[in-house]
């Protein structure tokens, strides 16, 4: 499983905050380094400015030390479940590197929940993993300084970035990795629909789903909306959800839920999922507009390694639906 580099967000006045990264090799495959160092730079300052480095390059990063093994081979009939020798070091919502004991093949897994040594995964495994395959921590942590996150001028008036965390890995090729960081004024847009709202669109769905998944799918539906808003240059933390956006979120909730439930292609759940997806697409047509750079677009100068305050005005992307 390849892993795409991501953009990180820290909360304004949220104190010192962890920035979690996953090292990847040249093919995008997660790879565990033997050591990691980092620096955090403010790209709004040139390379000779003392304000540029808010965390000095060469600062040691913290590598998750969790390590255990599968106590039984995984199965395709329960592809979202693994059993490990010791689940105490694995944390819900975090990523781990699964390495096959026989083939040495690697994949990234995310822990959704756990019950002792039984681990439930966010995504299904696509093959059988041998008994005694290793499960290791792979997340590497940097710390964004509290003083910088609380600087009203630099994080709010000047657009909240762009900052970057520049990683240097030992034992990973390439040895460097850059990821962007933005400081947000608010945690993000609050939920604009409730589970009760979603029940109007599909009254039986929440009874058919496992309780722990209901909130997960509502969160995902809102994340879908956030992604679409950013794609048209809207900041979800400053965006007021109109009725069409609420209907979009409800439809996406039903789509995710029905797709999760078992059933044959063309069966009841499949038909309901397709209908919900179609409704969401119609609602999205009324929300999307064209012609602006996505919020968080960064274009750095190739010679000076600098970027303008906030979103770069040089980018221009047209978005539409096919």
For the stretch 214-269, pLDDT in tens is: 878 888 898 898 888 877 766 665 555 567 888 999 999 999 999 988 887 788 89
Name the residue among 270, 285, 297, 283 with its Cα closest to residue 322. 285
Distance CA 129, CA 99 (A): 8
Distance CA 225, CA 248 (A): 8
Q: Which of 88-92, 126-130, 208-212 has the lowest mean pLDDT?
A: 208-212
DSSP 221-290: HHHHHHHHHHHTT--GGG----HHHHHHHHHHHHHHHHHHS---TTSHHHHHHHHHHHHHHHHHHHH---
Q: Is 10 exposed, middle or buried (0-12, 13-18, 19+ CB in 10 A)?
A: buried
Note the pLDDT tens digit of each residue in 166-218. Answer: 999 999 999 999 998 888 765 555 678 888 889 889 999 988 887 768 878 88
Name the residue among 127, 137, 118 with its Cα closest to residue 66. 137
Decide: 226 and 188 in contact? Cβ < 8 Å.
yes
Q: Is 49 exposed, middle or buried (0-12, 13-18, 19+ CB in 10 A)?
A: exposed
Distance CA 303, CA 297 (A): 19
Decide: 12 and 41 in contact? Cβ < 8 Å.
no
Query: In the sheet that 53-60 helps form, which strands lie side by side, from edge to edge?
Result: 8-11, 176-184, 163-170, 35-42, 53-60
pLDDT at position 292: 45
Band of residue 52 on the pLDDT scale cut at 50, 70, 90:
very high
Higher pLDDT, 304 or 61: 61
pLDDT at position 3: 45
- Write down how long the chain is: 322
DSSP 150-175: T-HIIIIITTT--EEEEEEEES-SSS
Higher pLDDT, 34 or 304: 34
Distance CA 22, CA 166 (A): 12
Looking at the chain, the whole-number percentage of residues with pLDDT higher than 90 is 52
What are φ and ψ of residue 168, in 5° steps?
A: -125, 125
Asked if pLDDT for residue 317 goes beyond 70, the answer is: no
Q: What is the mean pLDDT of the chain?
A: 83
Distance CA 37, CA 307 (A): 23
Element (H, E) at 182: strand 176-184
Domain 8-64+140-184 bears CATH identifier 2.60.40: yes
Q: Is 283 exposed, middle or buried (0-12, 13-18, 19+ CB in 10 A)?
A: buried
pLDDT at position 319: 30
Note the pLDDT tens digit of each residue in 14-32. Answer: 899 999 999 999 888 899 9
Q: If DSSP codes are grouped into helix, strand and coil, which group holds residue 3? A: coil
pLDDT at position 19: 94
pLDDT at position 229: 80
Per-domain residue ranges of the chain: 8-64+140-184, 67-104+118-135, 195-287
Band of residue 298 on the pLDDT scale cut at 50, 70, 90:
low
**Token pair of 146, please?**
């509290």
pLDDT at position 215: 78
| Mean pLDDT within 285-309 | 58
Q: If DSSP codes are grouped into helix, strand and coil, which group holds residue 53? A: strand
Query: In the sheet that 140-144 helps form, which strands lie side by side, from edge to edge?
Result: 17-21, 140-144, 62-63
Q: What is the pTM of this model?
A: 0.62
């Amino acid at each position: 499983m390849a892993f795409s580099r991501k953009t990180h967000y820290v909360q304004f006045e949220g104190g010192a905050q962890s920035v979690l990264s996953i090292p990847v090799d040249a093919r995008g495959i997660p790879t565990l380094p033997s050591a990691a160092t980092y620096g955090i730079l403010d790209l709004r300052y040139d390379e000779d400015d003392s304000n540029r480095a808010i965390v000095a390059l060469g600062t040691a990063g913290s590598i998750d030390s969790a390590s255990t093994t599968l106590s039984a081979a995984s199965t395709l009939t329960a592809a979202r479940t693994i059993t490990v020798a010791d689940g105490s070091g694995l944390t819900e919502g975090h990523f781990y590197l699964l390495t096959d004991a026989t083939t040495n093949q690697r994949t990234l897994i995310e822990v959704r929940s756990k019950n002792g040594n039984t681990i439930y995964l966010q995504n299904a495994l696509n093959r059988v993993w041998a008994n005694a395959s290793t499960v290791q921590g792979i997340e590497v942590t940097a710390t964004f300084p509290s003083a910088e996150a609380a600087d009203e001028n630099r994080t709010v008036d000047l657009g909240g970035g762009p900052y970057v965390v520049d990683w240097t890995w030992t034992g990973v090729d390439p040895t460097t990795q850059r990821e962007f960081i933005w400081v947000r004024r608010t945690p993000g847009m609050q939920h604009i629909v409730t589970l009760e709202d979603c029940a109007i669109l599909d009254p039986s769905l929440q009874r058919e789903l496992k309780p722990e998944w209901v909130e997960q799918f509502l969160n995902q539906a809102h994340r879908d909306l956030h992604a679409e808003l950013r794609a048209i240059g809207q900041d979800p933390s400053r965006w007021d959800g109109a009725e069409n956006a609420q209907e979009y979120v409800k439809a996406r909730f039903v789509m995710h839920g029905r797709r999760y439930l078992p059933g044959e292609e063309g069966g009841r759940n499949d038909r309901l999922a397709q209908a919900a997806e179609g409704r969401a697409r119609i609602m999205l047509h009324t929300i999307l507009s064209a012609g602006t750079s996505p919020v968080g677009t960064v274009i750095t100068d190739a010679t000076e390694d600098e970027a303008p305050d906030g979103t770069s005005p040089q980018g221009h992307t047209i978005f539409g639906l096919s």
